[in-house]
Amino acid sequence: MTTEQDAGRIEYRCEKRGRERRAEVEAEADGILTPRDMDVTEATDGYPKTREDAERVAGEARTVNDATLEDLRCDINEDKQRRVRQIWRDLRREIEQASEPPGCNRPPCAPGADIGEAETDAALAGRIAIMRYEAGALDDYFGRLKAEATALTERASTAASDADALTDEVKNAAHGADKIPFLTRALVLDWRLRPAQLWKGFTVQGFLDCLGDTMDCLRDEWSAITTLSGALAERECNAESKQERAAKLRSGAADELIRRCGAVLAEPTERSVEDEDDFQNGRDDEQD
């Protein structure tokens, strides 16, 4: 096999390796993206109605809790109320600072499928690993958004049940009973019924936009991962093939030399004066 034939064989084999690797990663990506696409469609169709129903339940709970707070204001010393509210403001601030900010918190997304001329295989493999990590973070966040589409119903219904229970307890409390525990529960419930807590800071359209943007980023990450994974597989194949070819030439150097000389020696050639001198002196210009 000539050098050109050997190179063509290596090129074909390595391009095939790259295609196969891309197909493997495409199948992996499809297993993630296809169900997520269905989730987006389901949320787009169902979230507005789910949110509307939950808002109605929460509104009724808010009305009940507001009435309870008003009753407690009449039964508790104003100074005690003021101090309880101040303590609650400080605690609430701690909770909010320790919690994820309301609204869309999509993880970073900056995929790129371009390969620099000087980019090493190690650097390329590192980029793929980073993008896989980013894709995993995006998928996790998407899962949380999907869960949020149903969790808001539970939050609203739980708050409504708590509001009704607290109202009953306040009405049935013994004369002269300490009402401070009731006030603390009512204040926390009032906070739970605020939009930032009930809906995690999302408007209906804001939630759907966040879900769609996360899906777009997830799709872009996997597209880049697929492209780069195929390119890396092709590179690695070429590197392995070069090493194999070098090892083959080294181990069979004498046989290869005979093969190459066969055709050349069969035809007379004119020898230059310099070649003649080298031959007479036994020199090889490739030797040190």
Q: Which of 76, 46, 246 is nearest to 170 (CA)?
A: 76
Burial string for 1-19 (b: 16+ CB within 10 Å, else e) reads eeeeeeeeebeeebeebbe
User: What's the CA gap between 185 and 243, in Å, rounded?
Assistant: 73
Q: Which of 164, 154, 203 is nearest to 48 (CA)?
A: 203
Q: DSSP E strands: which ranges in the chain?
A: none
User: What's the CA gap between 158 and 168, in Å, rounded?
Assistant: 16
Given this model, what pLDDT does residue 261 score?
Answer: 81
Max CA pair span of the chain: 125
Given this model, what pLDDT does residue 277 score?
Answer: 59
Q: Is 282 left (phi over 0), alpha (psi -120 to 50) or beta?
A: left
Given this model, what pLDDT does residue 247 score?
Answer: 66
User: What's the CA gap between 35 and 246, in Å, rounded?
Assistant: 47
Task: State the number of CA atoms in the 13 A half-sphere of 278 facing the CB.
Answer: 10
Q: Which of 40, 38, 30 is nearest to 219 (CA)?
A: 30
User: What's the CA gap between 30 and 287, in Å, rounded?
Assistant: 56
- Residue 11 tokens read as 């090129």
Distances (CA, A) of 14 to 20, 126, 144, 183: 10, 21, 40, 72
Q: Is the dihedral of CA 230, 232, 238, 244 positive or negative?
A: negative
Given this model, what pLDDT does residue 285 score?
Answer: 53
Please give the single-letter amino acid code of residue 268.
P
Burial string for 212-229 (b: 16+ CB within 10 Å, else e) reads eebbebbbbbbbbbbbbb
- Predicted structure pTM score: 0.79
- Residue 288 tokens read as 């040190």
* Non-local CB neighbours of 136 within 8 Å, separated by 6+ positions: none
Each residue's pLDDT expressed in tens, for the chain with a length of 288 residues? 455 556 677 778 888 999 999 999 999 999 999 999 999 999 999 999 999 999 999 999 999 999 999 999 988 999 999 999 999 999 999 999 999 999 999 999 988 888 888 899 999 999 999 999 999 999 999 999 999 988 999 999 999 999 999 999 999 999 889 999 999 999 999 999 999 999 999 999 999 999 999 999 999 999 999 999 999 999 988 888 777 666 666 776 777 777 778 767 766 666 555 555 555 565 555 554
Alpha helices in 76-120 (DSSP H): 78-98
110 class by beta-carbon count within 10 Å (0-12 exposed, 13-18 middle, 19+ buried): exposed
Cα dihedral: 148, 151, 155, 161 (round 10): 170
Given this model, what pLDDT does residue 10 score?
Answer: 78
Q: Mapping DSSP to helix (H, G, I), strand (E, B) and coil, where does residue 76 land?
A: coil
